[in-house]
Amino acid sequence: MSLRPRQQHILEFIQSYLDENDYPPTIREIGKAVGISSTSVVNYNLERLEELKLIERNREVSRGLRLVGYEPERGQRNLRSIPLYGAIAAGKPLPVLDDPETVAENVEVPIDLLPRSGEAFALKVKGRSMIDALVDDGDVVVVRSQPGVETGQMAVVEVLDPPDEAGATLKKYYDHGDKIELRPANPDPAYESFWLHPSQIKVHGRVVSVLRQYS
């Protein structure tokens, strides 16, 4: 079965995007590149490419697309570019971005520092509440996107309520049943745990590695 011109265009864009970024595009990015405003139309054409075994897809993540037979350039194999979604508070929560997909900035991360599965993103740390976990102000944390974490893991958590504390924060996550403790890793008494009901928070991901630039 031969490809339609639109499907060929999509396939070529996916390869060029992979060559440039070393990770696949989202459905929205594909549509913008090939002039399709409807995500359902993009999805239809991706399904046809999948039927032809030209691509493979994981529909549980936004960039869960693989080009069958694609091999990155030799110089790209040790690095991957992931989106940098601004700042994360290691202290009082910071406002959450309304639409993270609009963020254009990316950061190059060694493959060994990425999670073995799932989608990853990066955040720049603002604050010093996690210094005993070897995360300092100005560091960049690499986060595996996931809706839940285990007790004791370092997580990106959005505080939904009360309104005066709303925002995203970086803390150790402890589940005490009817209460969730978001615990800092700094002995300074100025940094205290947040104690919240599970309905007051939303987990965005688990920290898997830290990047630090020395001057």
Residues assigned a catalytic role: 129, 171
Who's near 108: CB < 8 A, 6+ residues apart? 79, 80, 81
- Residues 137 and 126 sit within 8 Å (Cβ to Cβ): yes
- Residues 177 and 197 sit within 8 Å (Cβ to Cβ): no
H or E stretch including 12? helix 5-21
C-alpha angle 58-102-129 in degrees, rounded to nearest 5: 90
H or E stretch including 203? strand 201-211
